[in-house]
């Protein structure tokens, strides 16, 4: 198996060596008109909120209006396709996520865009890991309890926000790492799945930190593990899955910024530097904290390598579990 860090550094080095300055591009010429950030999801969701925050900050930094434009549909595919086909001149950007650029490429055999060939990553913005939660009626208080019950032959059901969703794949990753069997019960969204967990209709649910914090803090459900390499600052008392002896369960949601492929390098460099600076602003950090997101602060090359690794990781999980979208 290829070491994740070795692969990450190799991909980052390759990406960096391939960067050459664009000829004939005058940095002072850009931006000369408003810039749009396409948000491939509905207004009010986390991706939209972060996009509008970035748009406000970039407007101040660049001296031109930056506007967030919602183009939702097909799990983010519609907006991503619009951005992929836009003129690569720095005036169209895209909010990219674990869904559009991590999971969907492995889940759908015929995407209208290629997440790596059609886009030039600018920066990763925010991270939010999955939280494994159990029903209070289940008697499961830790990852060890879950594994032991599953291996004893207990009939355990886990919910998700839908087939192929991040909440679904996080548990499939857990199942693979632990060598256990659990029954998947897909819902129309995380809200329905949360209600089923709280009522005891299902025993397990994985959800991102923003959706888990409320039910966990109010004592309606039990958080048994964070699917990340480190604990969440928003649920500091919940140990990671790895801390409990089960390695390889890392399911972290992410939201970043990209541009169409062939966007001039000086524009990409300028935008990346501005996003890195924005992510040190106290007001921005406070806003991200209110959304339960941790700043990613990944450079262009790091983000490009990260997307490639995420795509490979989720492709393996999807293939091993035999997940297909009809």
Check residue 326 and give its pLDDT.
Answer: 62
How do strand 221-227 and strand 252-260 relate by DSSP bridges?
unpaired
Q: State which fold the 129-244 domain adopts.
A: D-Maltodextrin-Binding Protein; domain 2 (3.40.190)
How do strand 157-160 and strand 204-208 relate by DSSP bridges?
parallel
- Of 113, 100, 103, 72, nearest in space to 165 by CA: 103
Check residue 324 and give its pLDDT.
Answer: 85
Digits of tens for pLDDT over the chain (326 positions)?
Answer: 444 444 444 544 454 444 444 434 444 589 999 999 999 999 999 999 999 999 999 999 999 999 999 999 999 999 999 999 999 999 999 999 999 999 999 999 889 999 989 999 999 999 999 999 999 999 999 999 999 999 999 999 999 999 999 999 999 999 999 999 999 999 998 899 999 999 999 999 999 999 999 999 999 999 999 999 999 999 999 999 999 999 999 999 999 999 999 999 999 999 999 999 999 999 999 999 999 999 998 889 999 999 999 999 999 999 999 998 86
> Per-domain residue ranges for the chain?
4-127+252-321, 129-244
Q: What is the CATH number of domain 4-127+252-321?
A: 3.40.190.150
- According to the 3-state scheme, what is the secondary structure of the chain? CCCHHHHHHHHHHHHHHCCCCCCCCCHHHCCCCCEEEEECCCCCCHHHHHHHHHHHHHHHHHCCCEEEEECCCHHHHHHHHHHHCCCCCCCEEEEEEHHHHHHHHHHCCCCCCCCCCCEEEEEEEEEEEEEEEEECCCCCCCHHHHHHHHHCCCCCEEEECCCCCHHHHHHHHHHHHHCCCCEEEECCCHHHHHHHHHHCCCCEEEEEHHHHHHHHHCCCEEEEEEECCCCCCCCCCCCECHHHCCCCCCCEEEEEEEEECCCCHHHHHHHHHHHHHHCCCHHHHHHHHHCCCEEEEECHHHHHHHHHHHHHHHHHHHHHHCCCCC
Check residue 212 and give its pLDDT.
Answer: 96
How do strand 252-260 and strand 119-135 relate by DSSP bridges?
antiparallel
């Amino acid at each position: 198996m290829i070491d994740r860090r070795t692969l990450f550094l190799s991909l980052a080095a390759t990406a960096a060596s391939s960067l050459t300055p664009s000829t004939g591009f005058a940095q002072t010429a850009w931006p000369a008109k408003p810039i749009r950030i396409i948000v491939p999801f509905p207004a009010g969701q986390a991706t939209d909120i972060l996009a509008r925050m970035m748009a406000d900050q970039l407007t101040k930094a660049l001296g031109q209006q930056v506007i967030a434009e919602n183009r939702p549909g097909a799990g983010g595919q519609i907006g991503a396709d619009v951005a992929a086909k836009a003129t690569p001149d720095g005036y169209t950007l895209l909010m990219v996520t674990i869904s559009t650029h991590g999971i969907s490429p492995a889940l759908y055999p015929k995407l209208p865009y290629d997440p790596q060939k059609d886009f030039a990553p600018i920066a990763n913005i925010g991270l939010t890991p999955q939280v494994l939660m159990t029903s209070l009626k289940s008697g499961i208080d830790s990852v060890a309890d879950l594994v032991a019950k599953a291996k004893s032959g207990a009939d355990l059901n886990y919910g998700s926000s839908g087939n192929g969703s991040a909440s679904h794949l996080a548990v499939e990753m857990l199942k693979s790492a632990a060598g256990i069997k659990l029954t998947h019960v897909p819902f129309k969204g995380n809200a329905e799945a949360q209600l089923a967990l709280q009522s005891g209709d299902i025993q397990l649910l994985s959800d991102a930190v923003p959706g888990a914090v409320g039910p966990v803090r109010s004592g309606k459900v039990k958080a048994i593990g964070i699917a990340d390499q480190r604990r969440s600052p928003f649920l500091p008392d919940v140990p990671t899955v790895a801390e409990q002896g089960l390695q390889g369960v890392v399911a972290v949601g992410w939201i970043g910024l990209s541009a169409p492929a062939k966007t001039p390098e000086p524009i990409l460099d300028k935008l990346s530097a501005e996003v890195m600076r924005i992510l040190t602003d106290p007001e921005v950090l406070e806003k991200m904290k209110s959304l339960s997101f941790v700043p990613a602060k990944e450079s262009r090359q790091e983000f490009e390598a990260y997307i490639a690794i995420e795509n490979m990781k989720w492709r393996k999980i999807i293939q091993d579990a035999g997940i297909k979208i009809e």
